[in-house]
A and B are shown apart, each in its own frame.
Chain A
Amino acid sequence: EIVLTQSPGTLSLSPGERATLSCRASQSVSSSYLAWYQQKPGQAPRLLIYGASSRATGIPDRFSGSGSGTDFTLTISRLEPEDFAVYYCQQYGSSPPNTFGQGTRLEIK
């Protein structure tokens, strides 16, 4: 079973700064089948990135994904106030299917 470990647990930054979130898999993620979601309090997750680096419809280009194998990164180039939220990675390349990381909380410094 692939376990996804996200780091850091909490990231404290200011608007305008660059955010780098990590997702590490315990085994190689097949075909870079990795997605990133944003979740704000009381809301459902929102798809940001799929296939490790493809932005979902309507997602601003300040969000970018990269990586392959076991190491993946979500980068937010310049933080906007609305970007402060919890971010989850999800692998969908192996069984058991559709497992998620524990999340990274991005908070305002």
Chain B
Amino acid sequence: QVQLVQSGAEVKKPGASVKVSCKASGYTFTGYYMHWVRQAPGQGLEWMGRINPNSGGTNYAQKFQGRVTMTRDTSISTAYMELSRLRSDDTAVYYCARAPTTTVTTFFDYWGQGTLVTVSS
């Protein structure tokens, strides 16, 4: 069965960076784009961007351009999302989500369990 298992919670200071991992299993990792979506406490969902695990090509939401980097390691079927220059309003649960289509605009059929990133001085 498809599983996306994310790394554990992180606490970071403002200005620092955080790198979240998402290990995929149960399907061919390079066959599906991986997206990242975040959810601030008590808030809705916000799309951040995606990576093509096959080529490594990325597309980022305009809001996060210049601060987010998505990478992957195909040898261990893992995708990564790194967010830099953290601010307090980056405090959120970060999800990886698999897309069943190749377009940037897509829905998400499987989600990781989420990683809470807390930014606090």
Q: Which residues of A are in contact with B by a Cβ distance under 8 Å?
A: 33, 35, 37, 43-47, 50, 56-57, 88, 90, 92-103
Contacts and interface: CB of A to CB of B under 8 A. Distances in A.
B112 A96 contact: no
Main secondary structure of the interface of B (DSSP, over half): loop
Contact of B45 (A33, A56, A97, A100): A100
Interface of B: 35, 37, 44-47, 61-62, 95, 103-114
Contact of A33 (B35, B105, B110, B112): B105
A100 B44 CA distance: 7
B47 A47 contact: no
Contacts of B46: 100
A44 B105 contact: no
A103 B108 contact: no
Given A88-B44, A103-B44, A93 B108 contact: no
Given A35-B107, A44-B111, A102 B44 contact: yes
